[in-house]
Amino acid sequence: MLGKLDWSAIPFDQPIPLIAGAVVLIAILAVLIWVVAKGHLPYLWHEWITSVDHKRIGVMYILLASVMLLRGGSDAIMMRIQQAVAYQSQGYLPPEHYNQIFSAHGTIMIFFVAMPFVIGLMNLVVPLQLGVRDVAFPTLNSVGFWLTATGALLVNLSLVIGEFARTGWLAFPPLSELSYSPGVGVDYYAWSLQISGVGTLVAGINLVTTVLKLRTKGMNYLRMPMFCWTTLASNLLIVAAFPILTATLAMLLLDRYLGFHFFTNEAGGNVMMFMNLIWAWGHPEVYILVLPAFGIFSEVVSTFSGKALFGYRSMVLATMAICVVSFMVWLHHFFTMGAGPDVNAIFGIASMIIAIPTGVKIYNWLFTMYGGRIRFETPMLWSVGFMVTFIVGGLTGVLLAVPPADFMLHNSMFLVAHFHNVIIGGVLFGAFAGFEYWFPKAFGFRLDERWGKAGFWFTFFGFFITFVPLYIAGMLGMTRRMQHYDVAAWRPWMIVAAVGMAVLTIGVICQIVQLVVSIRNREALRDRTGDPWDGRSLEWATSSPPPVFNFAFNPDVRGEDAYWDIKASAKQQSVDADRPEYQDIEMPRNSPTGFVCAFFATLMGFALIWHIWWMVILGGLGAWATFVVFAWRDHDEYVIPAEEVAAIDRVNVEERRGLVSMAGTV
Amino acid sequence: MTMTATAGHAHADPHHIGVVIEHPGPAPKRIVTAYGFWIFLLSDIVMFSCFFAAYAVLVGQTADGPKGSEIFEQGNVAIETVCLLLSSFTCGMASIAADVRNRFWFYLGMAVTCVLGLIFLVLEFREFADLIVRGYGPSRSAFLTAFFSLVGCHGLHVSAGVLWLLTMTAQVFAKGFRADILRRMMCFALFWHALDIIWVAVFSVVYLLGSGT
Amino acid sequence: MSDQTHMPAGHDLAPGDEEQHSVGARILGYVVGLVLALLLTATSFFIAGTDLVWQPSIPVALIVLAIAQMGVHLVFFLHITTGPDNTNNVLALAFGLLVVFLVVGGSVWIMAHLNANMPPMDQIMMRQ
């Protein structure tokens, strides 16, 4: 009846996950009770859960990423403490638990923090920057988000029901095959990634189509803001790379569930084929994450330097070059596999080549800052911090791209330090910069600068205090994923790294405090003009938060830096000299399709993990029925009457007129 | 405000490369939907390419089990191929009928497409069942693993296509040729034709090349 | 969203859509495609089974025929052409094909080198 599921799945003998799970459960219940008691449930259901508004979905993505950041961060803290104390001792985490923690940390940070964070920002901003009212497929957008949430839910469920994978974040066979990992851990891993992978693919298709097919009048390709370009490149990579992940995990699952022999040691299976395929996805994946961050830095640097982006066209070219070349370097993740000098040399050279367009970008940002009037507000701090940090990470990456050097450093702590250096220094700093930069746009008030800056400095220094020791430990020969060790020389560096982790944690706490303080002071921080940073692209041309239809009129773009253009010409004329007549606007109706579909996907995923076959069929039928019901509906749009549009828009125009006349006096 | 300092930079297309054709604005829904689906199809083809890659790598790993030439039946494959080809044609006819709102030809085209798809599935199922009964199931060797997964993945797509076809025909029956249903019909046609293209690769690479020595 | 769709027709074409044609011309297109595809398929099956041609050329011929048939399907069934209204569709296709080529070609190349340098366990044992 319940497949492999019984009471032994609950880890009663392990206090840490049980207590953590209980705390989370109580917190969720408390929030739920509060929501119901306060009568917020209808609001939550109508305005958020069933919303197909790209801005709302973007915010929910970022919320999911932030919550999961805390979960992944707790894992990181536990690991750093373990390695600080586990010198010639077992530390406080038993091996099987420690292995689950590092696997969960990697999986969560990549798939459920970095991915939803950048997808959330792209969702929130790109339609606004393109001057359109929504993404190409609003309902699918909601489906994509909720499937991602399903994946995150399943990963967290493994904390209290069963176990998570002990195989590292990519579940290499043969360790991840049934004979060596008979538990449900790898199944949790694989099914949650399969489900959230579908969500990511949907988001990718959606955003590619949005950028290529939905741009406002006059928004030629070479007038798009840089963030739209990097969004296009990143989502093209999603569309091309995520199917590889899906196929690879499907093969692993077939091995585990039906006794196939893709990656087994018996019957001619080839373990190395898994490395090959998973990294054919895995390397584009890092560019999927970092390209949007590059776009965010481009926007931030240009805005806070008060200058147009230097070398816009070279930036576009560099972005698209990275998009293509990122598919030609995957073997550098397994130089040591033994494909031989020819193969290694070619992939080593390709890996060094991809550093060139990245270098072009760094110079472009520096030249954008050169001669500008730079304002060091929080988003700009994250951007400058990124440039410093990312260059270090990039250089150690070029070092690792040299095959002989890689043979020495493969799977060492040096590697761990390198990829944290580029992912924290690149993606996370970018996500934070974008968060600070676009928060006023999403919510209508700014974030507190003092706490934000404190958060930056603690994170920045905390990062270096944590990861420089790891570089050194790697040089001293320490390999990754060690539950305990006996080498005295590594010990001091592990302690320093643990101290760094504490500093990093203070940085994160500062950012949480910043959020709380800002919400309490929101009246003082209110952004009435919709343009708090003196921005250059179209998202600043509408109010904060934007109305559901984004723009009362589709903007007509005549050059790069579209909004800057409008502001410049508006100072000479009156701000709304030729405001055309307001018209009715049709918007897509909200739909519970995404939420219901994710509910069935959760059922199905859970049932697959525990071999509860009747529930699998139930979940599958439910998901299909959900789509049929959705396809059957007669009205998928509703009309916002012209008077309402006019009323909303006029308020914004008044505020904006104030801004322009103020600017004229400077 | 730094607006005055650099406002001069904000002019249209500073590079003046040739004549700039103004982008006319967002595309109509039909194009947006079909393009999105086109992107999905490309991603699906990339997924198939992984199974093709696995097949190419594992084809020699028979673990003393049968080789391709010992188990493939050309006649069966030829019938399957003709079924899919004809169904691609009838699917095209159905989409023309949908465009000119001709219910009779639409239903006929879809019905024939469905029947041909089902014949294909039955033939494939029989081939698989026969192999498994003979002890040549996917667990026998890495070669058979790759073969069953690649061909089976295509078969799953065809099954999903048949389910989609039935759902959509029912929808036309209930709602008529509405704009959104016509867009779905267009996506379905793209899907069905793409499956046929993948089948061309399957029968060429797996069955015909695999039958040789 | 439909109020945003005030675009002149003909500038852009959905994948799968044709230029304006009469029903007869469209049917004819499918018929031509079907005939060509059937011919190519028949040739493939014939070549694979025959010993009339030089044997080593068969794999190459099969691959060429398969690519030709995929081209026929793309042009006559999916209506992907080189016209200016199809640029985006063709570019997306080209990117997809590039990735397919890299994944399949790269995997085969890498794994062939790997197997040559580090043969699987059973082959080592067979050599001994």
> SS3 for chain C, per residue?
CHHHCCCCCCCCCCCCCCCCCCHHHHHHHHHHHHHHHHHHHHHHHHHHHCCCCCCCHHHHHHHHHHHHHHHHHHHHHCCCCCCHHHHHHHHHHHHHHHHHHHHHHHHHHHHHHHHHHCCCHHHHHHHC
Angle at A560 between CA A557 and CA A563, to 5 degrees: 60
Interface of C with B in 34-93 (CB under 8 A): 34, 37-38, 41, 44-45, 48-49, 58-59, 62-63, 65-66, 69-70, 73-74, 77-78, 88-89, 92-93
**Is the Cβ–Cβ distance between A247 and A169 less than 8 Å?**
no
Q: Which of A202, A46, A200 is nearest to A136 (CA)?
A: A202
What sign does the CA torsion over B171, B153, A210, B100 have?
A: negative
* Smallest Cα distance from C66 to chain B, Å: 6
CB contact under 8 A, C103 and A272: no
C-alpha A48/C-alpha A515 separation (Å) is 20
C-alpha B186/C-alpha A636 separation (Å) is 19
A585: helix, coil or strand?
A: strand
Of the two residues A530 and C4, the one the predictor is more confident about is A530
Residues whose CB falls within 8 Å of the CB of residue A506, separated by 6 or more in sequence, listed in order: A458, A462
CB contact under 8 A, C34 and B89: yes
Of the two residues C50 and A105, the one the predictor is more confident about is A105
Q: Is residue A628 part of a domain?
A: no
CB contact under 8 A, C4 and A265: no
What sign does the CA torsion over A173, A176, A177, A179 have?
A: positive
A33: helix, coil or strand?
A: helix
* pLDDT bracket for residue C8 (50, 70, 90): very low
Angle at A277 between CA A274 and CA A283, to 5 degrees: 120
Q: Measure CB to CB from residue A261 to each of B1, B13, B142 and give the nearest one.
A: B142
Q: Which of A330, A327, A324 is nearest to A343 (CA)?
A: A330
Residues whose CB falls within 8 Å of the CB of residue B141, separated by 6 or more in sequence, listed in order: A261, A267, A268, B61, B62, B63, B64, B65
Q: Measure CB to CB from residue C110 to each of A236, A339, A584 and give the nearest one.
A: A339
Q: Which residues of A touch C126 (CB under 8 A)?
A: none
Angle at A569 between CA A566 and CA A572, to 5 degrees: 145
Angle at A492 between CA A488 and CA A497, to 5 degrees: 135
C-alpha A545/C-alpha A96 separation (Å) is 47
Of the two residues A580 and B89, the one the predictor is more confident about is B89
Q: Is residue A574 part of a domain?
A: yes
Pull the structure tokens for residue A611.
């071999």
Give the pLDDT of residue B188. Answer: 92
Judged on CB neighbours under 10 Å (0-12, 13-18, 19+), A362 is middle
C-alpha A83/C-alpha A81 separation (Å) is 6
Neighbouring chains of C at 3+ CB pairs under 8 Å are: A, B
Give the pLDDT of residue C83. Answer: 64
Neighbouring chains of B at 3+ CB pairs under 8 Å are: A, C
**Is the Cβ–Cβ distance between A292 and A227 less than 8 Å?**
yes
CB contact under 8 A, A534 and B1: yes
User: What stretch of H or E contains A564?
Assistant: helix A562-572
User: Any CB–CB contact under 8 A between C24 and chain B?
Assistant: no
Interface of B with A in 37-76 (CB under 8 A): 39-40, 42-44, 46-47, 50-51, 53-54, 57-58, 61-63, 65
* Smallest Cα distance from A298 to chain B, Å: 17
Residues whose CB falls within 8 Å of the CB of residue A150, separated by 6 or more in sequence, listed in order: A192, A195, A196, A199, A598, A601, A602, A605
Of the two residues C20 and A590, the one the predictor is more confident about is A590
Q: Is residue A575 part of a domain?
A: yes
Q: Which residues of C touch A637 (CB under 8 A)?
A: 1-2
* Smallest Cα distance from C39 to chain B, Å: 11
Pull the structure tokens for residue C128.
């001994």
Cα distances from A346 to residues A66, A321, C99, in angstroms, run 39, 17, 18
C-alpha A368/C-alpha A309 separation (Å) is 6
Q: Which residues of B touch A589 (CB under 8 A)?
A: none
Q: Which of B16, B31, B40 should be substituted to probe chain A, the one whose Cβ sees the most A Cβ atoms within 10 Å? A: B40
Q: Which of B193, B204, B166, B206 is nearest to B45 (CA)?
A: B193
Domain B74-213 in CATH 3.40.50.300:
no
Q: Which residues of A touch B53 (CB under 8 A)?
A: 277
- Judged against a pLDDT cut of 80, whether residue C82 lies above it is answered with no
Q: Is residue A619 part of a domain?
A: no
B169: left (phi over 0), alpha (psi -120 to 50) or beta: alpha
**How many A×C Cβ pairs under 8 Å?**
71
Angle at C97 between CA C94 and CA C99, to 5 degrees: 110
C-alpha C104/C-alpha B150 separation (Å) is 14
**Total count of domains within chain A:** 1
Task: Write the DSSP symbol of residue A130.
Answer: H
**Is the Cβ–Cβ distance between A227 and A129 less than 8 Å?**
yes
Residue where the block lists tokens 């189509």: A209
Give the pLDDT of residue A396. Answer: 92
CB contact under 8 A, A206 and B26: no
- Judged against a pLDDT cut of 70, whether residue B3 lies above it is answered with no
Q: Which of B22, B159, B181 should be substituted to probe chain A, the one whose Cβ sees the most A Cβ atoms within 10 Å? A: B22
| A256 to chain B: closest CA residue | B139
Q: Find the DSSP H helices in B59-178.
A: 68-71, 74-99, 103-133, 142-175
Give the pLDDT of residue A493. Answer: 94
A50: helix, coil or strand?
A: coil
- Judged against a pLDDT cut of 70, whether residue C11 lies above it is answered with no
Q: Is residue A654 part of a domain?
A: yes
Residues whose CB falls within 8 Å of the CB of residue A287, separated by 6 or more in sequence, listed in order: A233, A234, A237, A322, A323, A326
Give the pLDDT of residue A111. Answer: 94
* pLDDT bracket for residue C21 (50, 70, 90): confident
| A137 to chain C: closest CA residue | C1
Give the pLDDT of residue A661. Answer: 57
Averaged pLDDT, C19-30: 81
Residues whose CB falls within 8 Å of the CB of residue A398, separated by 6 or more in sequence, listed in order: A351, A352, A355
CB contact under 8 A, A214 and C120: no
Q: Which of B155, B148, B154 is nearest to B66 (CA)?
A: B148
Give the pLDDT of residue B198. Answer: 94
- Judged against a pLDDT cut of 50, whether residue B74 lies above it is answered with yes
**Is the Cβ–Cβ distance between A309 and A298 less than 8 Å?**
yes
- pLDDT averaged over consecutive 10-residue blocks of chain A (666 residues)? 80 78 86 88 89 93 93 92 90 88 93 94 93 90 93 89 88 89 90 94 94 88 92 94 94 92 87 91 93 94 91 92 91 87 89 90 93 92 94 91 89 93 93 94 91 94 94 92 90 94 94 94 86 88 88 82 76 56 86 91 92 91 89 83 85 71 49
Pull the structure tokens for residue A432.
């934070």
- Judged against a pLDDT cut of 90, whether residue B2 lies above it is answered with no
C-alpha A365/C-alpha A387 separation (Å) is 9
Range of the domain at A657: 542-587+645-666
CB contact under 8 A, A308 and B9: yes
Question: What whole-number percentage of chain C has pLDDT above 70?
Answer: 80
